[in-house]
A and B are shown apart, each in its own frame.
Chain A
Amino acid sequence: MSAPLLEIEDLVVHFPTADGPVHAVDGLSMTVERGQTLGVVGESGSGKSVTFLAAMRLLDRAQPTISGRIALAGVDLLGLSHAEMRRVRGARIGMIFQDPLSALHPLLRVGDQIAETLRAHGKVGRRDAAAQAVAALRRVGIPNAEERARQYPHELSGGMRQRVMIAMALVLEPELLIADEPTTALDTTVEAQILDIIDDLRVRQGIGVVLVSHSLATVADVADTVVVMYAGRAVERGPCDAVFAHPLHPYTWGLLDSIPALDAERARLVPIPGAPPSQVDPPPGCRFAPRCAYRIDACTARLPELTERGGGHADACVLAVPGRTALRHRPGAGRTEAAA
């Protein structure tokens, strides 16, 4: 078996600031397989976007300290020269962003923006590139593609703009698509369409997809594997079904409890109390411990590693698995027992 499509190993990204280094990503590992979707979930500041901007080497201007390994099909991207990395971007890894209006150049026609990607990576004639751009727009289900290609971003709807972004990211048929919160700025109905398009293209072009989201609900339908991130680290990783059916980590419980459900099983949404910890000076031990209802003394003593719990399902928690799952949905009881 060849190397996985994308392999992130022990990634650390620190940004220098006046107050000291910000630990944006702090020892993160994950893998994306060909033809599969990896869902990466976490709240703002959990390091999910930074991780993939680091993979694209788009952080260079902020001059972060990066260590670890980010390998695309076995080749470490962090070791490539600028010229080599430029040929990877767009051609082998496509990326789409949260707000398609600000991510598209406001003064250029969308067709030209797609054609430009083609022309930057190979000897393609102007006319040929324009025709391929129209074809790419058609592939993401944009009607009247010829006409749309001549329009400017502000003339399109939010969903159309994100389709344009997808068309642009995939026009060179890359092996990997990184979608960084692709539906956060869109209506819920459009969200489903966009996720369908991405999933459809994944199947047709056999690409690997990273779907970054702050919401577990977004990745639930399309992800094969899910990684839950908290404060720059992975706290849980596993097959999508397993993570939803038997979530292991208290933070994942919190995320699931804060998803609105249409059935009346739960009367209220349960928010996670508190706020994410300082990333300049992270708390000792488990990063989630200060907000965790099941905290015991051992939690703040050492940083728990991601540990395999069977079936490819892993989590990073000090508590033993059987005892922990019994505690779920009884946070009050949990605290008493933990204190006892």
Chain B
Amino acid sequence: MGRYILRRLLWTIVVVLVVTLITFVIFYVLPSGDPALRFAGKEPTPQVLAQVREDLGLNHNVAIQYLLYLKRLVVGDRYGWPGLGFSYGSGAAIAPQLWQRAQITIQLVLGAAVMWILIGIPVGVYSALKPRSAFDRSSLFIGLVFISTPVFWFGLLLLWVFWSTLGWLPGTGYVAFSDNPVQWAGHLFLPWLVLALPFAAVYARIVRSNMLDTLGEDYIRTARAKGLPERRVVAHHALRASVVPIVTLLAVDVATLIGGTVVVERIFNLQGLGSWVLDGALNQDLPVTLAVTLVATIAVCLLSLCADVIYAYLDPRVRPR
């Protein structure tokens, strides 16, 4: 097992190399103009332009720039390790901001994941136990509504109802948990909900169909034949087999959301990775784009590794010998 994990971690490095390279290439291939021109101010003189170009490290050719980027990543730069450079736009170092924004995004995504699991699995199980019941049908219908509702509209609607009209919840923005746990939860509750409900709907359907399949298995009949209470048959035997495939799905979904929660972060004014990478891409701020891409890539690799390890723990049949 240890050897397997090590091999997967080495693979992660390869994936990071490939993804950063692709990001670099896209950045320079896209006909979006000269980044130096953008950050040199209005009507720059050629001297200013050359100076900006040198400051931003754009005076080398692309291949050298990429290699320099990798070198700084490994040995660090004047802002410390890992060397992620500074934002073209603000001139501030990337690393501290990346850490701060990643914290917000991770809290947003993990909180939402907990929420959609806590909603999706029980709803799916209950639907499977009473297929075609009123509960099953209405959960399908409500789920479809959540899946098809645009996030920006739904987010604004919730803000209007719970903040502006009812005043039950604080509005947009972010309060650190260490500053005020109640405010922290209050500020994150709606973003969690908006992010979680479409996933909860999808997970409920998947758990429902897994559960229905599992309930038809021979080993469920065996469990009943040995006189186990129905509650234990469902909770211990059927649920266990039904949620194992969810682990892989969860890892992929969470990883995709790291850096992918642009709309929710914008609506609720959360300074996370998603809104940052959007700014970076639109403003030709290469170091920002690269930093978020890097974090997202590593998240995908590590989470899928976690999923595989957890899967092996849950299902002895796929354990490497």
A and B associate = yes
- Total CB contacts across the A-B interface at under 8 A: 79
Which B residues lie within 8 Å of A58 (CB)? 221, 224-225
B317 within 8 A of A: yes
Which A residues lie within 8 Å of B230 (CB)? 82, 86
Residue pair A106, B225 in contact (C-beta under 8 Å):
no
Per-residue A-contact encoding for B195-237, CB less than 8 Å = 1, 0 else: 0000000000000000000000111011111111110100011
Which B residues lie within 8 Å of A253 (CB)? none
Q: CB within 8 A of A103: which of B218, B244, B315?
A: B218
Cα A121 to Cα B227 in complex, Å, equals 8
Residue pair A106, B226 in contact (C-beta under 8 Å):
no
Residue pair B237, A91 in contact (C-beta under 8 Å):
no
From 101 to 154 in chain A, residues with beta carbon under 8 angstroms from any chain B beta carbon are: 102-108, 116-117, 120-121, 152, 154
Which A residues lie within 8 Å of B223 (CB)? 105
Residue pair A56, B315 in contact (C-beta under 8 Å):
no
Cα A104 to Cα B227 in complex, Å, equals 15
Residue pair B221, A103 in contact (C-beta under 8 Å):
yes
Chain B, interface size category, equals 20 to 34
Specify which of B219, B221, B229, B317 lies most central, judged by the most chain A CB atoms within 10 Å of its CB: B219
B250 within 8 A of A: no
Chain A, interface size category, equals 20 to 34
Specify which of B223, B229, B317 lies most central, judged by the most chain A CB atoms within 10 Å of its CB: B223
Residue pair B237, A105 in contact (C-beta under 8 Å):
yes
B58 within 8 A of A: no
Q: CB within 8 A of B227: which of A91, A97, A99, A106?
A: A91
A34 within 8 A of B: no
Which B residues lie within 8 Å of A12 (CB)? none
Rank and list the top 7 A-B pairs by shortest CB-CB distance, nearest first: A90-B227, A89-B227, A90-B226, A102-B218, A117-B226, A152-B316, A105-B219
14 A–B contacts from the bound complex (CB under 8 Å): A86-B230, A90-B228, A99-B218, A102-B217, A103-B221, A104-B219, A105-B219, A106-B219, A106-B315, A106-B316, A116-B236, A117-B227, A120-B228, A169-B226
A-to-B contact residues, CB < 8 Å? 56, 58, 82, 86-91, 94-95, 97, 99, 102-108, 116-117, 120-121, 152, 154-155, 165, 168-169
